Structure 1
Amino acid sequence: MSLLDGKTVLVTGVLTEGSIAFHVARLAQLEGASVILTSFGRQARLTAAIARRLPVEAPIVQLDVTDEDDLTALAERLREHTDHLDGVVHSIGFAPQSIMGGNFLTGAWEDVATAVHVSAFSLKALAVAAQPLLRPGSSIVGLTFDATLAWPVYDWMGVAKAAFESTSRYLARDLGPSGIRCNLVSAGPVKTTAAKSIPGFEKIEAGWSDRAPLGWDMTDAVPTAKAVAALLSDWFPATTGEIVHVDGGVHAMGL
């Protein structure tokens, strides 16, 4: 029996073959899951092209996590493909460049609010929108970048990630009585489209593999995808509100 046999998983954030979300969707299918993707607007064409590169072409439902109409309609749109969900993967994040790259002190609230809305509040919004289809024993998994530290150039996106991590803990509290788990995977730097959009991201990458006891390959998203798949599975039935680090061990090392 494969890790995710018989499960149905909703995966957000699939845009390129290099994205962590793509590798999550691919691995989930290889482990026996049925996968549904989300996308919207101009990104939808990219997602549709990438969906054809999965082992099984996955259906796509429209979802902009900042659009209340899309959130309200999500359950019905999903019911065109499934009558339930066993897992949801949150791989969504955005911050205007004006509040990253060393612009922490000059960042305007309007741009900060955008980052918090898309990158943190959206976890709660997605969980509530998907909840009608989530069964006891199901799992929500989000992707984060260690928000316990102040990183070079990450600035207000780091603050948004701190809010994201806190949101996950509150979701674990409120969804636990329904048998729904909520956990995060904190990944080391991976050369994704999202990473490339951060001005000066190379300052975060610099020396990571040297500091990692296990080493670190910034071109390989598979270790992170495996951790997500494990948390989606039945092998963590009593784990919620947790953050699993997949960073080669850097989070545990001193300078």
Structure 2
Amino acid sequence: MMLAGKKLVITGVLTKDSIAFEVARQAQEQGADIVLTGFGRTRRMTERSATRLPEPVDILELDVNNPDDLTALTADLRERWGSVDGILHAIAHAPGDALGGGFLQAPTASALTAFQTSAISLREVAVAVTPLMDEAGGGSIVGLDFDATVAWPAYDWMGVAKAALESVSRYLARDLGARGIRCNLVSAGPIETAAAGGIPGFDGLAGAWQSQAPLGWDATDAAPVASAVCFLLSDHARAITAEVLHVDGGYHAMGSPLPSLSSGESTAPPLTTPA
């Protein structure tokens, strides 16, 4: 029961295929007391998904771009629990015209929307929960990331937002560490979620992962990613902060595959054995 007694806030649950849903499921199985967040038209999706969790769970209203919702989140959690041990930030959004290969033509307003919702929101939720983590003697903030060290086809301004997310996480780790609060990200391989359906070329991206990741990759299985999140939310990760933990089958460490030679011969030197 790695999370026994922990009080956790899980954002980003839309469907049962959401990474956040699997985090919520595993967290409950590991003994955590959780609440979910949702807002607007998608809240009904969150409510339907919540019925599939092992235990009943409350859903709090939270639009991370609405200061009133953030204030209300703090107040509700203080009244409900008095303290908070951890939060999952699983929030990202970019308008359609900020994705798809039109990086140079994307409206600045759309790029700013992606930046605010996907990166600045990590600081916003951190500010909302850190007073309650102080009451717990520390805590863990974990965000969901997608490798921002390279420029991906069609990912465009969301890729820029993810790079900003990584930087925000490092600065939160710097400023909150003295209070015993950790901030880490999990950089996941492509998972077939509702959000992924809005990324042009997602199927090709997932196919590349399946063929090149040393451990292989199942884009329909969010469990390995969720397990890593639960680890970072637990006391087992108490000395880890400012980290980007890759859960991608090892894809991030591989170079691009070399084109095959016309002769079919390998470029590798012959293997030898010691005399």
Question: Which interval holds the TM-score relative to the shorter structure?
Answer: over 0.9
Report the TM-score when normalising by structure 1. 0.98
Letter in 1 for 2:21: F
Counterpart residue number, 1:70: 69
Q: Indicate the SS of the match to 1:207.
A: helix
Letter in 1 for 2:144: L
Counterpart residue number, 2:96: 97
Counterpart residue number, 1:219: 220
Q: Indicate the SS of the match to 1:142.
A: strand
CA distance in 1, matches of 2:106, 2:204: 20
For residue 247 of structure 1, report the CA deviation from its aligned partner. Answer: 0.2
Q: Which moved more, 1:200-209 or 1:42-51?
A: 200-209
Counterpart residue number, 1:10: 9
Counterpart residue number, 2:36: 37
CA distance in 1, matches of 2:159, 2:168: 14
Where does the alignment leave 5 or more consecutive residues of structure 2 unmatched?
A: 257-275
Taking only aligned residues, the RMSD between alpha carbons, in angstroms, comes to: 0.9
CA distance in 2, matches of 1:75, 1:180: 16
CA distance in 1, matches of 2:43, 2:98: 26
CA distance in 2, matches of 1:72, 1:89: 18
CA distance in 2, matches of 1:206, 1:45: 32
Determine whether 1:178 maps to 2:179.
yes
The CA deviation string for residues 10-59 of structure 1, in whole angstroms up to 9 with x for no partner, is: 00000100000000000000000001111111111111111111001111
CA distance in 2, matches of 1:69, 1:125: 12
1:1-255 correspondence to structure 2 within 5 Å: 2-134=1-133, 135-255=136-256
CA distance in 1, matches of 2:83, 2:67: 21
Q: Are 1:152 and 1:203, in contact at CA under 8 Å, matched by a contact in 2?
A: no
The CA deviation string for residues 97-135 of structure 1, in whole angstroms up to 9 with x for no partner, is: 101111111111100000000000000000001112113
For residue 136 of structure 1, report the CA deviation from its aligned partner. Answer: 2.6
Letter in 1 for 2:80: H
Counterpart residue number, 2:271: none
CA distance in 2, matches of 1:173, 1:136: 17
Matched residue count = 254
CA distance in 2, matches of 1:206, 1:55: 32
CA distance in 1, matches of 2:188, 2:241: 18
Q: Are 1:137 and 1:237, in contact at CA under 8 Å, matched by a contact in 2?
A: no
Letter in 2 for 1:109: T
Q: Indicate the SS of the match to 2:137.
A: strand
Q: Which runs of 4+ in 1 moved over 2 A?
A: none
The CA deviation string for residues 207-250 of structure 1, in whole angstroms up to 9 with x for no partner, is: 21111110100000000000000000001111100000000000
Letter in 2 for 1:144: D
Letter in 2 for 1:117: Q
CA distance in 1, matches of 2:51, 2:105: 42
Q: Are 1:137 and 1:234, in contact at CA under 8 Å, matched by a contact in 2?
A: no
CA distance in 2, matches of 1:171, 1:220: 30
Q: Are 1:143 and 1:184, in contact at CA under 8 Å, matched by a contact in 2?
A: yes
CA distance in 2, matches of 1:110, 1:28: 37
Q: Are 1:212 and 1:248, in contact at CA under 8 Å, matched by a contact in 2?
A: yes
Q: Indicate the SS of the match to 2:249.
A: coil
Letter in 1 for 2:166: E
Q: Which moved more, 1:228-237 or 1:67-76?
A: 67-76
Counterpart residue number, 2:267: none
Taking every aligned residue pair, what percent have the same amino acid on both sides? 57
Q: Indicate the SS of the match to 1:114.
A: helix
